[in-house]
Amino acid sequence: MKSITTPISDETIRELKVGDAVNLSGIMVTGRDAAHKWMIETFIKKTRAPQGDDLQAYEELKKLLNGSVIYHCGPVVSGLDTKDYKFVAAGPTTSIREEPYQADVMKHFNVKGVIGKGGMGAKTLQGCAETPGAYLHAIGGAASYIAKTVVKVHGVFKMEFGVPEAMWVIEVKDFPVVVTMDSHGGSQHAVIEETSKKVLDGLLAKPL
């Protein structure tokens, strides 16, 4: 088991290999579909003009995400009325929905880790090599357990997206993940997909 604290250096990322178990600590930011689309359109491809507090949020996120981690998570959060925020549930969201965006977001913000479930595709794997970064698989179905690793909610951006889609800035302690895509081109998800396809092709080739 490796223990890693954000911000994460390139050297630390390059040491990680598929199959490594990691306890992650430090600051990270949640982000799902709305957040990734907003970052891409407003600040990377610039097909949408900044509105409201977008520029202020961008400047703060550049600092927070530099060397840090994006967590694909739609949390259940208490204390919304008092802003005494606490994560009640914090399970991972299926990551493949962010495949069109993730590599560009990683490179633009120097994001070193992406946490989610289910893995991602070839574009993100290339992004892991170039940034460099790693995809970190979290435990599906363990939302309440993972929430216990969130020791503090430091704030939130883009609350207008709604609680699950907002970008929550959280501090975690010993958040358990497994490296399933590394910066050397290794992808456990690609291996499983290839193996499964061979089995399926074999089954389909058999006469009824």
Which of 36, 72, 137, 189 is the catalytic position?
36
Longest dimension (CA), the chain: 65
CB-count burial class (<10 Å; 0-12, 13-18, 19+) for 76:
middle
Which residues lie across from 156 on neighbouring strands? 168
Q: Is 36 a catalytic residue?
A: yes
| Distance, CA of 84 to CA of 74 (rounded, Å) | 18
Q: How many CB atoms lie within 10 A of CB 70?
A: 28
The contacts of residue 179 (CB under 8 Å, 6+ apart) are 16, 17, 18, 19, 20, 21, 22, 134, 135, 136, 137
Task: Compute CA 56 distance to the chain's CA centroid, rounded to the nearest angstrom.
Answer: 22
Return the structure tokens found at 76: 């259940």
The contacts of residue 114 (CB under 8 Å, 6+ apart) are 69, 70, 72, 95, 98, 102, 106, 120, 124, 133, 134, 135, 136
Task: Write out the catalytic residue numbers.
Answer: 36
